[in-house]
Amino acid sequence: MPEPGDVVEIRKNGVTYRGTVLPRTEEIPEDVLVIKLKNGYNIGIKVTPDTEIRVIERGEPPKKYKAPIKVEYNPDLPTAALVATGGTIASRVDYKTGGVVAEFTAEDFLLSFPEIADLANLKLKQVSNIFSEDMTPEYWVRVAEGVAEEIKNGVDGIVITHGTDTMHYTSAFLSFALQNAPVPVVLVGAQRSSDRPSSDAAINLLNALNVAVNSDLAGTFIVMHETMDDRYCTIHPGTRARKMHTSRRDTFKTIGDIPVGRSYVLARAGKIEERWVEIWGEEFRKRGQNGFKLVAKANPNVFLLKAFPGLRKDVFERILLEHDGVIIEGTGLGHVRQELIPSIAEATESGVFIGVTPQPLFGRVHPHVYSTAVKMVQAGAVYLEDMLPETALVKLIWALGQTKDREKVKEIMLTNYAGEITKHSRPDAFW
Ligand code: ASP
């Protein structure tokens, strides 16, 4: 069998294919050879007894890539820690082999985005290199600890590169775990990887860095493209951002509140020509305040359950009883089918915490409008105002990581820590 990097000619069923052998990934069966064709496409060919394979040129084994530059410290610039977790933004295709290179060093970031050197000194900390669908609460804890360490080292701001799929879960966890953070902690990602011409990685990263080192904010935020073009990025609160489109660059929206503000960076030929940060809300903490505390605790035995017509009672009951806490994404003002309510009573009596959040996402759940909700409250369910379902899930994981006492958990869940519960639902926050 040829090795990755070899140029081969394969004849099968009367067709000849020529290309470079790519490294095998876990999901590709052993009898399939994947090659990169000259036109750039990759194809997989099942090797059968009648397949002829000829190695035309032996390739060099893939080398560990090393960026050909050195980062110089600039004492006139602020310093940001770049905490890398993985995701599309930090992946690069090695065109020789077609494989994705996993490690992204500070030099790699500088090489891909040279304007960074004009904005801040960068200190890279790699905590993981995974796609965000593979994130777990254990990783959130690791990220929070990594960020806390950098805060204690005195950096001026933190940028966390992260996959977009579950970025808002991580941002919610950090919003709770990094209490009274004295600097901006900004999560950023990309919908298209940095090696593609249509990539949003550079604009997102530069704006995230701009917010991290040049804004007066403190706390956890997500900074991503505001529109489909490359103009601005929006600053979203860490507990109210949500991925709302599978592929558009402006996928993130602030739900149930107005965004924190907007960032703009105009970069040309490696230089920053213009930059600013605009803050829209008034209620944000300012950088530099004291009282930072890391509470990176998690109990992952929590479930997020979407109520839907026909949800089976036996399944519902099993889910409630098998977890320490369950967030129900209730229909409308916060309901489940009435037939399911006795299961809520049974679960809360056995010590399971049950919180109710709004399936419509905008607006708040209400325990007194319909008799269904009144009965759910009597059964022990706790109505969580306008907290977003995913944020409530993360908060419950965090709360149950700290205490088993259900009254204490209830108190934590109903206390607003980072904008996850608003006093009033703003009419201008609905679009
Ligand atoms: N599935 C990827 C992830 O969330 C997509 C991305 O990187 O944006 O990690």
Pocket test for ligand 1, best of 89, 100, 132 (most atoms within 8 A of CB): 132
Cα–ligand 1 centroid distance for 293 (angstroms) = 29
Cα–ligand 1 centroid distance for 89 (angstroms) = 8
Tell me the H-state helices in 113-250. Answer: 116-119, 137-152, 167-177, 201-214
Look over the chain and give the mean of its residue pLDDT values, rounded to a whole number.
91
Domain with CATH 3.40.50.40 in the chain: 302-413
Q: Select 302-413's CATH number: 1.10.340.30, 2.40.110.10, 3.40.50.40, 1.10.940.10.
A: 3.40.50.40
Of ligand 1's atoms, which has the minimum distance to the CA of residue 166? 4
pLDDT of residue 93: 58
pLDDT of residue 261: 96
Cα–ligand 1 centroid distance for 147 (angstroms) = 21
Which residues line the pocket of ligand 1, CB cutoff 6 A? 87-88, 131-133, 163-165, 189, 191
pLDDT of residue 283: 76
Of ligand 1's atoms, which has the minimum distance to the CA of residue 164? 8
Among all residues, which ones are annotated catalytic? 88, 164-165, 243
**211 — pLDDT class (breaks 50, 70, 90):** very high
Nearest residue (by CA) to ligand 1, atom 3, is: 163
Span 353-412, pLDDT tens digits: 999 999 999 999 999 999 999 999 999 999 999 999 999 999 999 999 999 999 999 999
- What share of the chain has pLDDT > 70, as a percent? 92
Fold of 79-294: Rossmann fold (3.40.50)
Neighbouring C-beta atoms of residue 207, cutoff 10 Å: 27
Please report, for residues 11, 29, 35, the alpha-carbon distance to residue 44 in angstroms, rounded to integers and kept in the order given. Answer: 13, 10, 6
Higher pLDDT, 349 or 249: 349
Span 144-180, pLDDT tens digits: 999 999 999 999 999 999 999 999 999 999 999 999 9
Of ligand 1's atoms, which has the minimum distance to the CA of residue 189? 8
**50 — pLDDT class (breaks 50, 70, 90):** very high
Cα–ligand 1 centroid distance for 220 (angstroms) = 19
Is pLDDT at 142 greater than 60 in this prediction? Answer: yes
**Whole-prediction pTM:** 0.84
CATH code, 7-57: 2.30.30.520
Cα 85 from Cα 116, distance rounded (Å): 19
Domain with CATH 2.30.30.520 in the chain: 7-57
Instruction: Tally the residues of the chain.
Output: 431
- Under 8 Å CB-to-CB from 360, ≥6 apart: which residues? 332
219: left (phi over 0), alpha (psi -120 to 50) or beta: left
